[in-house]
Structure 1
Amino acid sequence: MEKITELLPQQAASPLVVYVLAFLAVLWQLSKLGRRPRDYPPGPPTLPLIGNLHQIPTDKRHVQFEKWAREYGPVYSLMLGTKVMIVLNSDHAIKDLVDKRGNIYSSRPEAYIAQDILSGGLRVLFMPNNAIWKMARKFVHRILGVVAARSYVPYQDLENKAMLVGLLEDPDDFIDHVRRYTASLTTQMTFGFRTTSIQDQRFKEAFDIFDRSSEMIGSRTAALLDLMPILRRLPAFALPLKKEGREIHQREKKLFLGHYLKAKQGLKDGTAQPCICVDLVKIQKTEQLTDDLAAYISGSILQAGSETTAGILVGFIQAMVIFPEVAKTAQAELDRVCGDRLPDLNDVHDLPYIRACAKESLRWMPGFLLGVPHRVTQDDTYLGYRIPKDAMIILNVWGIHMDPKRHPSPREFDPMRYIDDHQTSIDAANNPDPTKRDHFVFGAGRRRCAGMHIADRSIYLAISRLLWAFDFKREVDPVTKQELIPDMNELAEGVMACPKPFPTRIVPRSAFKEKAVREEWEEVAKLLDGNGQWRTVPEGLIWKDEQLSE
């Protein structure tokens, strides 16, 4: 009995010991949160639990990421609570990992607001590397291929001329005219109809949705919901972003599906114009592709293709205001080669400085400043560092484009850095030498933009014709009489970045060029009906610019 009594305190103490040990184990695990393991790539100092979360700014995030790239080298890591972000800051790192190891670097991290709430899981851009994404990727490459893109050249030519006339009529709204140019091109490519005016309700609805969605995706709340999924269980009043996001998704889905079903009906009754939706309808006959997914494939192409190109072109106009000597050099080349006629795609080889301006525009204002995040699907090593499974992979596009070792004086708009570069964007992306890649606007690896050759043409046509027809002058302050120079660092940020509105005076270079622009529009407008839509779309032609890639 005494022995049993002696054992009682020990037995009573055993659960206490277990609880203490469990508590210490939890503390030990918590103490590791936010810490950077020794075998991870280097990065800024961390704090317990939160890691580097407190150091990531709300706005101008790309500037801080660029600073860290200069400090920590081609690859660095950021600890975000329980998650890790690996940032790639060199052309070699992107080529070695995202291109060459695309089988494990082509997925996407979880994007709760962007994909689940705002997109209903349907947006290809944010899909993980699953069977649906692979199917959609195959379709997109088929319908945006180089051969298929020839049928869109008449759209590009007409919409470009419409933009020029719009700038003659109302130059102060130049950003809206650029946006209408890229939007109408993509509504024709995707749904088969023109966006004839910046007042078009379909245009306004699509880009009101895009602008607000972009703000929501780039918000701190969206980031926190990805980093701490438990927060998604908060009641609706604490997360108004969820309710608004679901409402936006329903509006967007209704818009995209309406356009898609109209094109589908047009194919049945013989009224459909050549467009991506027509191709998707044909694909539906042999593949398991729902109307909802087909609508989102086409709608996503509309938004991404339109806004990326528009932002780059607005950046180009800003550069011409800040660096007028570049415009003068380009105009001298245009006058020498084209004289009194508008430049076209046949002039690409004879306008090396214009081609260089297009490349420099892509470098100078890349839109996706930090790319679209990738996710690695298994443990990997690089440069002696461990990259853990499920790490978020960031392509630091801004950091690479602004690297003074790669591009001396990177904030200067200097087309001469590309004067001997005759590659298309596709050529450069495929070049086995990563130092020869001109820019990273269109991503890398298996997530690379399939329509980059279409964007190349739209940008070239816009830049060449804008410079042929117009001068971009600085506004003058009415009080100080000083010229107003736009601030190149003031950007509207979200999913994509572009310059904030800035003052400029866009004027025709001469009365002759103004007359020529109007006559060009009058001639091509004969192909349109009373509603500004195509009567008959001319067949796509093979232009001399294709000889570089084919």
Structure 2
Amino acid sequence: MAVYSFIALVLIVLGVVIGRSLLSKPRRPAGTREIPGPKGLPWIGRVHDIPSEKTWMKFAEWSAKYGPIYQHTMMGIVHIWVSKEHMVLDILAKQGSICSDRPAAFPNVPGTKDWKYLPLQGFHDTWRRQRKFTHLIFGTAHENNYYDHQTIEVPRTLVRLLQNPERWSSHLDQHQARFLSRCAFGTPNHASALCTNAWRLLINISPSGRFSNILPGCMRVPKCIAWWRVDEEDRQEKETRLYQNCQNEVREQWEKGQASPCFTRTYLEHGHRFGFPTDIEAAFNVGMVSMAGIHTTSSPLHTFFLAMTLHPEWMARLQKDIDALCGDRMPVLSDMPDLPIMRAIVKEGLRWRPAVPTGIPHELQDDCIYDGYFLPKGSWVHPMEWSLSRDPEVYPDPETFNPDRWLLPGYPTYKEPLTQFPTLHGYHQFGFGRRICQGINIVQTQTFCLLAAVAWGFDIKRKKDKLGQELPIPVNDYHPLLITKPNPFQFDLVPRSEMKRQQIMEAFVQAQEKDQFLQKGE
């Protein structure tokens, strides 16, 4: 009897929720059109059709069926998916005053009204303050040549790849984390903690991470039976301690006049101009900027190794280009204008396998009319990166990895001069309007410096079995989280010559001589 009563109660509650949703459905103004899209169950929509992995494939399938703008409802929320770049710009950039908010899409972590996570914050004064401060610290990084950290970290990573090539994926993540730890705190020593926290946070904000990510009520289940709540609270406590300790460490050095140039030192010297109410908010601002860069740069780094394993002809072209310019010396950042093939391979890798294939949604703060379509207030607008990157009018033969689309005049994406283009600046994968990514320079310089050095020093080859047959490459085996990258796979990474091996070791010794942390084995 109790079971039937419980079922009846659930049905009543569900009926009330659905009824309220239907009654509160916004009325479409006269003269406007309804956006097409798949029909679904009341309130629930088509949530049962969304796969737990590679969700972007289903959204891309609907885009192909219903057109470049379509909508559907999930759990009472209107989701609008846009897959033409000019349409996304018209909505999210040109109408930025009402299209720049973030939805409460991440129930496990502090949300849009909180001050902790800049990329997830809503369109409010806290977000504006932190954006302005982020602009300052990135500008200061350029002025103080923080990118010179690459001259230390690139040789270190090359040696790690030389000594333990099977751990290539871990080496790439550590490389990025060490660079950002130096930028943020003046030391690489916090890299492992940043990596750990970045991974745990990504799991807790990804729809395919924890089941509680798509069932917000799960975060109100008593902790004694809700292990996911315990895990997230543990993550947040460790994250807060990490950022506080990092800030205090730099403060102690700064008060002694010994702090290295870094984002945290910039806050201590200039933070009063921005009106931070607490030091911990600034600590999270610095920490989040650094942590976000780990995933967004790690993805194209990983994709490079996959693409070069699958396309040795492009690795050969890249090496020929580097050899002609650099000869026996390792490429450096100042070579970037003269190595367009390197830049084209990186950009094509991002197009071919977007880091955030579903895009990051914006929430409409008011009703919006676009091309006669009615977009109601509260809708989530998704710039659908997987489909944007496969628009055949912009990217002919979109499934093919083809860096020439950025290098040859016959392609729609070609731009001159090749000393400047292709570039990641202005590329749609880095956001739209007032939400555009502020760290594009870091992504571009990081990927160029490391990958050009890898191509200069190593060959990437298909791995063979005992019979001499090439092992299959998992072309689409990407992990399913919000920011994605290839799962580790097997390939052979070998120095191009004994001379290259020696030069890599010599470059590492030179880096050790000028860096106190490498001297200590850190």
TM-score bin, normalised by smaller chain:
0.7 to 0.9
Shift of 1:216: 2.3
The TM-score with structure 1 as length reference comes to 0.83
Count of residue pairs the alignment pairs up:
493
Shift of 1:425: 7.9
Matched, 1:314 2:268: no
Instruction: Provide the residue aligned with 2:214 in structure 1.
Output: 224
Task: Tell me how far apart the structure 1 counterparts of residues 140 and 60 of structure 2 sit (CA, whole Å).
Answer: 34
Task: Tell me how far apart the structure 2 counterparts of residues 363 and 489 of structure 1 sit (CA, whole Å).
Answer: 14
Shift of 1:357: 1.2
Task: Tell me how far apart the structure 1 counterparts of residues 490 and 27 of structure 2 sit (CA, whole Å).
Answer: 46
Local SS of the residue matching 1:78: strand
Matched, 1:82 2:76: yes
Shift of 1:510: 0.8
Aligned counterpart in structure 2 of residue 259 of structure 1, from 246, 249, 256:
246
1:285 maps to a residue whose letter is H
- Deviation digits for residues 69-104 of structure 1, max 9, x if unmatched? 222222111211321111121111121111222121
- Contact 1:163 1:177 (C-alpha < 8 Å) held by counterparts: yes
Deviates more, 1:66-75 or 1:26-35: 26-35
Instruction: Provide the residue aligned with 2:118 in structure 1.
Output: 124
Task: Tell me how far apart the structure 1 counterparts of residues 421 and 266 of structure 2 sit (CA, whole Å).
Answer: 26
**Gaps in structure 2 of 5+ consecutive residues:** 1-14, 408-413
The TM-score with structure 2 as length reference comes to 0.87
2:99 maps to a residue whose letter is Y
- Deviation digits for residues 379-409 of structure 1, max 9, x if unmatched? 0011211111111121211211123332223
Instruction: Provide the residue aligned with 1:16 in structure 2.
Output: none
1:483 maps to a residue whose letter is E
- Deviation digits for residues 347-381 of structure 1, max 9, x if unmatched? 22322212211221222232122222211111001
- Contact 1:41 1:386 (C-alpha < 8 Å) held by counterparts: yes
Matched, 1:141 2:135: yes
RMSD of aligned C-alpha atoms?
Answer: 2.8
Matched, 1:94 2:84: no
Task: Tell me how far apart the structure 2 counterparts of residues 379 and 32 of structure 1 sit (CA, whole Å).
Answer: 17
Task: Tell me how far apart the structure 2 counterparts of residues 369 and 30 of structure 1 sit (CA, whole Å).
Answer: 29
Task: Tell me how far apart the structure 1 counterparts of residues 432 and 17 of structure 2 sit (CA, whole Å).
Answer: 40
Matched, 1:62 2:56: yes
- Contact 1:34 1:50 (C-alpha < 8 Å) held by counterparts: no
- Contact 1:40 1:77 (C-alpha < 8 Å) held by counterparts: no
Correspondence list, 1:346-357, <5 A? 346-357=334-345
- Contact 1:216 1:241 (C-alpha < 8 Å) held by counterparts: no
Which is higher, the Rg of structure 1 or of structure 2? 1
Task: Tell me how far apart the structure 2 counterparts of residues 26 and 312 of structure 1 sit (CA, whole Å).
Answer: 42
Q: 1:26 to 1:498 in 2, by over 3 A?
A: closer
Local SS of the residue matching 1:506: strand
- Deviation digits for residues 40-87 of structure 1, max 9, x if unmatched? 321112123311222222110111111122222221112113211111
Instruction: Provide the residue aligned with 1:160 in structure 2.
Output: 154
- Contact 2:115 2:126 (C-alpha < 8 Å) held by counterparts: no
Local SS of the residue matching 2:78: strand
Correspondence list, 1:18-37, <5 A? none
- Contact 1:33 1:81 (C-alpha < 8 Å) held by counterparts: no
Correspondence list, 1:412-451, <5 A? 412-419=400-407, 420-421=414-415, 422=418, 423=420, 428-429=425-426, 439-451=427-439
Task: Tell me how far apart the structure 1 counterparts of residues 78 and 171 of structure 2 sit (CA, whole Å).
Answer: 42
Aligned counterpart in structure 1 of residue 505 of structure 2, from 515, 518, 521:
518
Local SS of the residue matching 2:469: coil
- Contact 1:78 1:85 (C-alpha < 8 Å) held by counterparts: yes
Task: Tell me how far apart the structure 1 counterparts of residues 505 and 440 of structure 2 sit (CA, whole Å).
Answer: 30
Task: Tell me how far apart the structure 2 counterparts of residues 42 and 511 of structure 1 sit (CA, whole Å).
Answer: 61
Shift of 1:115: 3.5
Deviates more, 1:109-118 or 1:179-188: 109-118
Task: Tell me how far apart the structure 1 counterparts of residues 473 and 17 of structure 2 sit (CA, whole Å).
Answer: 54
